[in-house]
Chain A
Amino acid sequence: MTELAVLPPDFAKEAAIMEKTWASKPGVIGWLSETGHKQIGLRYIVTAFLFFLAGGIEAALMRIQLLKPENHFLGPDAYNQIFTMHGSTMMFLFAVPIMEGFGVYLVPLMLGTHNVAFPKLNAFGYYIYLFGGLFLYTMFLLHAAPQAGWFSYVPLAGPQYSPGKGVDTWAQMITFTEVSGLVVAVELVVTTFKQRCPGMSLNRIPLFVWSMIVVSFMIIFAMPAVMIASGYLSLDRLVGTHLYNRSEGGDPLLYQHMFWFFGHPEVYIIFIPGLGFVSSILTAFTGRKIYGYTAMVSTLVVTAFLGFSVWVHHMFATGLPQLGESFFTAASLMIVLPTGVQIFCWIATIWSGRFRIATPVMYVIGFFLVFIVGGLTGVMLASIPIDWQVHDTYFVVAHFHYVLIGGALFPLFGAFHFWFPKWTGRMYSEVMGQISFWLLLIGFNVTFFPMHILGLYGMPRRVYTYQPGMRWGNLNVLASAGAVFMALSVLTMIINFLVSRRAGRVAGANPWNADTLEWSLPSPPPVYNYLHVPTVSGLNAVWDAAPDQPYVTGMRFDRREILITRVLDAEPDHTEQLPGHSPWPFVLSCTMCIGLWGAIFFAWWFTIGAVLSGIALIGWFWPSDRELEDHILREKGELGGLELGMPEPVREEMP
Chain B
Amino acid sequence: MTQRVLDVAALTEGTADSRSLIWWGNLAMLAIEGTMFAMAMATYLYLRSTNLDWPPSTVPKPDLLMPTINTVMLLLSCIPAFIIDRASITKNMLPIRICQALSIAVGLLFLYIQYAVMVPSLGYKWSSHAYGSVVWVIIGMHTLHMVAATGETALLFLYSLFKPVLKKHLLDFRCTAVYWYFVALVWVPFYFIIFIEPWMQRKGS
Contact = CB atoms under 8 A, between A and B. Distances in A.
A232 B42 CA distance: 13
A26 interface: no
Interface in B1-54: 1-15, 19-21, 24-25, 28-29, 31-33, 35-36, 39-40, 42-43, 46-47, 50-51, 53-54
A618 B155 contact: yes
Contacts of B33: 224
Given A550-B3, A551-B3, 9 more contacts: A117-B25, A186-B32, A228-B36, A248-B129, A257-B46, A554-B11, A555-B8, A574-B13, A621-B155
A574 B6 contact: no
B153 to A, nearest CB: 13
A652 to B, nearest CB: 5
B1 A250 contact: no
B56 interface: yes
B167 A186 contact: no
A563 B21 CA distance: 11
Interface of A: 117-118, 121, 182, 185-186, 189-190, 193-194, 198, 220-221, 223-225, 227-228, 232, 235-236, 239-243, 245, 248-251, 253-254, 257-258, 532, 535, 547-555, 561, 563-564, 566, 572-577, 614, 618, 621, 628, 631-632, 634-635, 640-641, 647, 649-652, 654
Contact of B8 (A185, A575, A632, A647): A575
Nearest to A219: B32
A241 B127 contact: yes
A190 B137 contact: no
A239 B25 contact: no
Contact of A550 (B5, B21, B31, B42): B5
Contacts of A189: 24, 28
A615 to B, nearest CB: 11
Contact of B6 (A193, A198, A577): A198
Contact of B40 (A228, A249, A654): A228
Interface of B: 1-15, 19-21, 24-25, 28-29, 31-33, 35-36, 39-40, 42-43, 46-47, 50-51, 53-54, 56, 126-127, 129-134, 136-137, 151, 155, 163-164, 166-168
Q: Which of B36, B39, B168 has the most CB of A within 10 A?
A: B39
B105 to A, nearest CB: 20
A190 B23 CA distance: 10
Contact of A254 (B20, B46, B131): B46
A624 to B, nearest CB: 12
B51 to A, nearest CB: 5
The 6 closest A-B pairs by CB, nearest first: A554-B9, A249-B130, A241-B133, A250-B130, A550-B4, A240-B127
Nearest to A186: B28
A242 B127 contact: yes
B166 A251 contact: no
Given A241-B126, A242-B127, A186 B29 contact: yes
B43 A254 contact: yes
B118 to A, nearest CB: 19
A306 B10 CA distance: 45
Given A242-B130, A243-B137, A647 B3 contact: yes
Nearest to B172: A621
Contact of B1 (A547, A577, A614): A547
Nearest to B133: A241
Contact of A574 (B15, B126, B155): B15
A249 B166 contact: no
Given A243-B134, A254-B47, A574-B15, A224 B126 contact: no
29 contacts: A118-B25, A121-B25, A186-B32, A190-B28, A194-B21, A224-B32, A224-B33, A225-B35, A227-B36, A235-B137, A239-B127, A241-B133, A242-B133, A243-B47, A243-B137, A249-B56, A249-B131, A258-B42, A548-B1, A548-B3, A550-B4, A554-B11, A564-B19, A573-B11, A574-B13, A575-B11, A628-B163, A650-B4, A651-B7
A224 B36 contact: yes
A553 B5 contact: yes
Contact of B21 (A117, A185, A257, A632): A117
Contacts of B50: 251, 253
